[in-house]
Structure 1
Amino acid sequence: MNVIFDTIIPIFLIIIGGNILRRSPLIDSAGWSAIEELAYWILYPALTFIVIMRADFEAIQFTAIAVPFAMALAAICVIMLCTLLLLQRMRLIAPWEFSSVFQSAIHWNGYISVVIAGKMFGEHGLSIMVFIVALFMLPLNGIVALVTVMHADEPKPKMDILRFLRGNPVLLAAFAALACRASGLSVPSSIHAGLDLLGRAAFGVGLLSVGASIKITRLWSVRFPLWFPILVKLLVFPVLMMAVAIVTGVKSDNLIYLTLCVAVPATTHGYLLARQLGGDAQLYAVITAWQTALSFITIPLMLWCATQLAGG
């Protein structure tokens, strides 16, 4: 429990700090826009590249981890897309809210899961969590980018969608890292160290940007588009992951690792994606803030459930 608090409290404080900074004269609107551009085009791609390059794909039981995770991820994506299309027809969510609701329900914060796994389960748990994050970083970012562009506030032609995907910096960084690994090409240590420093800055800058975009009045909204993805991300997705893991024969600690990965709040990169590609970035920021606050309760609850199932 203390590990979870120690991991999430700093994140929550940085979000609050971003909101305070936005109200101060230190950084104006143009400054925040520049910060978001820096994070989107430089910092998060650097983080993506480093995570994939460092992942140890050989030391992990690939099938035992990758197959159930892929099945659960595919299931939640299909469920969310079908549900949101229905809700949109029922006018419970607006078209421009579609992508932010979708990605905040399925796009997890790999940093939080990696830190918690490392502190709670040691080197083995850390290795598995990094493996999951690295393996699914490319397909997950591709899915959310595609949905965001297709359901942007200003619909784009098919050719524009393809151009956006080809030019997405995180996807390009993921492809570059996979190409380096597949070809056996090693990155010079000086470049690797520089990218590592940039990657370390990504999470903090992203959190500040999320906090800066939050309008306090929207925090207390009771609208469906706010609370639905919170419920799905913190409760439905972890329960679905546990169910798929049990059905596919996942046992012991692997079940706990899989549950932890999806029980954490949504990633801050989704906010930048919404800003760049036409989603409802403010809604995404508020959802992320609430998910972070409520995860103090839901992460321990989901881990306890997974532990009981793993022990059975």
Structure 2
Amino acid sequence: MFDLKELEAFVAVIGSGNLSASARDLDLPKSTLSRRIRQLEANIGQSLLRRESNRLSPTEAGQVFYRYCHEILELAGRGQDALEELRGEVRGELVLRSHSAFTRGWFTRQVESFMERHPEVKVVLRTQTEPPRGDPGDDVCLWLGPLHDCPMRQIQLGSLSQGIYASPELLERHGEPRHPRELARYDWVDMMGVASDGVILHHPREGIYPLKPSQPSFRVDQFTLQGDAIVRGRGLGLMPHWLVALRNRHHPGAMQLCLPEWLGPALPVWLVHSHGQLPRRTRALIEHLKAGVPEAWNTRRVLEPVY
């Protein structure tokens, strides 16, 4: 019979190739980790690791055994989940990912309140930089924007409307635009190349306007960086009203809305998770997040922050 802690130690070392790094990941003394590896090798009767150029790599026996370790640990985890279902307990580890727009705001607050309600739950939270593709090691992903060819189950929590923003200093220097056709004379701060490909602006009475901004002077991959660049006067940018309102709450007047009746494309907010039967902790978190969705996400305009 294998000790699951020894198997976890072996899998961690294979993943990192380094005892010190694995010890940090597992929050163990290096001596304890080494002892578990030695005990596992003694139980098996074969060497599982060898040192090559200051890195630990699996022996032939280690390569074979490594494949089975994953299955053993996965089965053990599924067995634990099944027992928790019988007891009706919400406990265990959740691996979550979040779009960078939410990592320091609503999502983390909701996760922390969920952990306060269920103290037996442990959470690993990572930033998601690309649309989710279905990592089997993840429980839930919160994503902002379109999802294309995503094999996971998708729940739309709401949407964030967008507008064109600038710093007051930039508008003082160059004047405030009165119509989208005037936007071509301004520098532009672009989010992930979206605006450079062209966007459609919507007006409640005038209809639509296909906007093709000037060549962006600055391109970023996070709304926080885009907001920083806009505040520093590097150009105009298309940003979600809700995120700007949160920023202006802490830094009043840092960004000013231009052409307030013209809206950019709304960005859907998705909760993404795997198909099939979910552990109780995952189902409980999903319900917790759905219950805490800001009302402002279901409106076309947001000028006041909602926590």
Please, what TM-score do these two structures have when normalized by structure 1?
0.26
Which of the two has higher C-alpha Rg? 2
Higher share of residues assigned helix: 1
Please, what TM-score do these two structures have when normalized by structure 2?
0.26
